[in-house]
Amino acid sequence: MSKQINLPLSEADVKELHAGDEVLLTGTIYVARDAAHKRLIEALDKDIPLPFDITGQTIYYMGPSPARPGQISGSAGPTTSGRMDAYTPRLLAVGLRGMIGKGKRSPAVKEAIRQYGAVYFAAVGGIGALLSKVITSSEVIAYAELGAEAVRKLEVKDMPVTVINDIYGGDLYETGKAQYCKQD
Amino acid sequence: MRVIPASDITKTVARLYQEANVNLPADVVAALEKARTDEASPSGKAVFDRIMENIRIAAAEKIPLCQDCGTATVFIEIGQDVNISGDSLDTAVNKGIDKACRDGFLRRSIVAHPFSTRTNTGDNTPAVIHTEIVPGGKVKISVLAKGGGSENMARLVMLSPSSGRQGIIDFVVNAVEQAGGNPCPPIILGLGIGGSAEKCLILAKKSLLRQTGKNNTDPETAALEKEILAAVNKLGIGPMGYGGSQTALAVHIETFPCHMASLPVGLSIQCHSARHIEAII
């Protein structure tokens, strides 16, 4: 049975989440991947305000395919989160609370998740057509020149995700694998 | 001498690349269905259910299976009796990729300079093109829409010949374990063994064009494919790395003679959205 969560995530929401939980997210998420993360960090370095108030918000690591006329979004699945690891602790330090991507995070990110009270969700990779259906609105809000890597504001309804890393140090990639590993 | 207009190459590539991105081939769908049945983990089964639903939506609504429409990787076997007239072969292929992206609303993922400005080329070109001259009067074009997440998990090792068969198994199992959920398992493993450093990687990539799960015709190589598949599926990584019994759908190995001092092994990892397609002109 999936938990229903309305975004933005509250501190209480994060405390309730444990690695392995299936969650349906509804509300606003911000889209940013490699090039946008580089820009966000450059903005922080120069004391320039970020293009959106990141406090308590959730970032989706994603770069959609173009929408056909009449579509809200093109294909919209997660990209590999590990490439954002170099930037993530800085964003968590300034208030980021949720991340959606796929694949494992670095020890530094996992530690920052515990320290700042955040959560890392995975969406299933390679199902971008299905995930495009949970998006009810999509708008480019910054760095439009980056094309597929621009920052977008999305509204999602019942987006299916799985908790990978929680504030208690849980990591589904480790516990899930251990449960089904048949090595000696 | 048979003359084939370059525009025919462009049209064929455009059709194949668009098609590959929305219709998963029957061999891959069959392998996924079998793996769904065999999967031990409930959360793994749930991932398979979503993968199958995605395949249905993509085909019905022509939405790309994955937002990462890939590096266009094009293998072309050109009959030596063929003369291609008009555009150069590379231009013909790249025009086809550009057309597929425009007509099919595919994502452009290629950046022009790899370590400097990384500005998007805007048309998903240039494609990565591998050509081979073969006997005959036909042109065979095979296209892979190869996602970046799985491509990033590729590995090359130049083993000592003394490492032998077990060295190959250990290398692959270790690489898959390190990759974990990153390459979107259940994966297909393409292995090139022998040749040289670059040759084995090209063989590895080319093996991904094979019908999923069809073993090599050489019995010894087929036995190694089966042994590696069993070893990888004991790791417990499972669909998307959430834990489970189905980490890989298949192992495809191609071999080539090599130097007496060498045992090159190239590994190419393919995500579950194994978008391969071919046509013969």
C-beta of residue A126 within 8 angstroms of C-beta of residue B54 = yes
How far is Cα A119 from Cα A184, in angstroms, rounded to an integer?
A: 33
**CATH fold of B2-20+65-146:** Dihydrodipicolinate Reductase; domain 2 (3.30.360)
B149 touching A, CB under 8 A?
yes
Q: Is B242 in Cβ contact with A176 (below 8 Å)?
A: yes
Contacts of A61 in chain B (CB under 8 A): none
CB contact under 8 A, A180 and B244: yes
- Tell which residue, A64, A57, A81, A53, has the closest CA to residue A134: A64
Helix-, strand-, coil-residue percentages of chain B, each rounded to 5? 40, 25, 30
Q: Is the pLDDT of residue A184 over 60?
A: no
pLDDT at res. A1: 73
User: CB contact, 8 Å: B178 with chain A?
Assistant: no
The first and second tokens of residue B117, run together, are 């400005």
Q: Which of A180, A183, A184 to mutate to test the interface with B (most CBs of B within 10 A)?
A: A180
Q: Which residue of B has its CA nearest to A19?
A: B242
Residues A59-104: tens digit of each pLDDT? 999 999 999 999 999 999 999 999 999 999 999 999 999 999 999 9
Mean pLDDT over all residues of chain A?
A: 96
Across the interface, whether the CB atoms of B107 and A160 are under 8 A apart is answered: no
The angle that helices B6-22 and B89-104 make with each other, rounded to 10 degrees, is 40
- The sign of the dihedral angle between the CA atoms of B27, B28, B29, B30 is positive
CA distance B186 to B273: 9
Interface contact flag, A125 B50, Cβ < 8 Å: no
A89 Cβ neighbours under 8 A, 6+ residues apart? A108, A109, A112
pLDDT digits (tens, 9 = 90+) for A96-114: 999 999 999 999 999 999 9
CA proximity to A54, closest of A99, A105, A85, A14: A99
What type of residue is A47?
D
Residues in chain A within 8 Å Cβ distance of B65: 75, 126-129
Distance between CA A43 and CA B19 in Å, rounded? 41
Q: Where are the domains of chain B?
A: 2-20+65-146, 149-274
A20, A74, A173 member nearest B105 (Cβ): A74
- Residues in chain A with CB shorter than 8 Å from the CB of B41 are 176, 179-180
Which residues of chain A are within 8 Å of residue B23 when distances are taken between CB atoms? none
- Please judge whether A173 and B53 are an interchain contact, meaning their C-beta atoms are less than 8 angstroms apart: no
**Residue that has been written with the tokens 């509250």 in this structure:** A10
- Other Cβ atoms less than 10 A from the Cβ of B135: the count is 9
From CA B193, how far away is CA B158, in angstroms rounded?
Answer: 10
Tens digit of pLDDT per residue, chain B (281 long)?
A: 899 999 999 999 999 999 999 999 999 999 999 999 999 999 999 999 999 999 999 999 999 999 999 999 999 999 999 999 999 999 999 999 999 999 999 999 999 999 998 999 999 999 999 999 999 999 999 999 999 999 999 999 999 999 999 999 999 999 999 999 999 999 999 999 999 999 999 999 999 999 999 999 999 999 999 999 999 999 999 999 999 999 999 999 999 999 999 999 999 999 999 999 999 99
Burial, A99: exposed, middle or buried (Cβ in 10 Å; 0-12, 13-18, 19+)? buried
Chains A, B: CB pairs < 8 Å: 170
B68/A68 CB distance under 8 A: no
Q: What integer pLDDT is reported at residue A58 of this predicted model?
A: 98
> How far off is chain A from B173, nearest CA to CA, in Å?
11
CA distance B6 to B10: 6
Q: Which residues on chain B are in Cβ contact (under 8 Å) with A176?
A: 41, 43, 236, 238, 241-244
- Using alpha carbons only, what angle is made at residue A144 by residues A138 and A147, rounded to the nearest 5 degrees? 85
Cβ–Cβ gap A66/B152 under 8 Å:
no
Instruction: Give the C-alpha separation, B41 to B50, whole Å.
Output: 14
For residue A110, the one-letter residue type is K
From the list B78, B109, B114, B79, the residue with the least C-alpha distance to B93 is: B78
Biggest CA–CA distance in chain B, Å, is: 58
Q: Report the distance separating Cα B273 and Cα B66, nearest Å.
A: 8
The domain made up of A3-180 has a fold known as: fumarase (3.20.130)
